Amino acid sequence: MDEQAKSLLPWTWEIPQQLRDRVGEQVGRQRAMFADGHLLLILHEPPDPEDVGRRGRFFWREPDGTWNASEGKGPQALKHYLEEYQQLLEVLEEQDKDALTAKEYFQVITELAPLHRTARNMHHALQQARDFVPKSKGLINLRDQAYRNERVAELLYSDARNALEFVIAQRTEDQAEASHQMAKASHRLNVLAAFFFPLATLSAIFGVNMRHGLEQDLVTSSLPFVLMLAVGVASGFALKALIGRGGP
């Protein structure tokens, strides 16, 4: 009873003991095993990105071509299993088409990455099964369906990654352009401040009153003011030209 409780295969299956002995207490990788005309397929359930482990799906083909499944009944069980992956890929394809932001593309990639790996390994396992039973037309069709799922997952994964990289690059370019415009605006402000800095400094030192006590008559009463203004403007132009050399 302890061995039965630990076994992952249904104990109602009358498969060769050597196949049963090759299955441990954990599912392990996806693979195909063959002995005495019996074919055993160990595959994985559709993965959840948050699951570390994998849950198994087991399919047993008897020498007369009869299929048995750990979940589901009849020869269509394996076909329906492959259709589960196809439906999941179709849902993710729609999400990829509707995605606009980096977060949405990242969500698609997160869900698609384990599905892509599982589809690839599933195709390899079915190719092994095809090699074990080369005359089975049904296995050829199942192998081809697994390959289509793998190819769709691969293309969708590549498309989602490219779209994510494009969105990131576009956002980076937009930020760089915004930073450039801010640098230009800051430079203009610095040039403007530089132009008026000498005039503001002279005004703070000498004041801007028309009478300073230095004038002797009405003709010369505004001379200090005009002179200060001229020196300030000339100095502003010189400082502006100096700062403008290193501008953007």
pLDDT tens-digit readout, 43-73: 988 887 666 677 888 999 999 888 888 887 6
Distance, CA of 136 to CA of 94 (rounded, Å): 35
- Sequence ranges of the domains in the chain: 189-244
Residue 237, both tokens = 């132009």
The answer to whether the beta carbons of residues 64 and 128 sit under 8 Å apart is: no
Residues 6+ apart with CB under 8 A from 14: none
| pLDDT band, very low/low/confident/very high, at 124 (cuts 50, 70, 90) | very high
Can you spell out the DSSP letters for 159-215? HHHHHHHHHHHHHHHHHHHHHHHHHHHHHHHHHHHHHHHHHHHHHHHH-S-S--S--
| Interior angle at CA 190, CA 237 and CA 234, nearest 5 | 10
pLDDT at 155 over 60: yes
Query: Average pLDDT of 21-36?
Result: 87
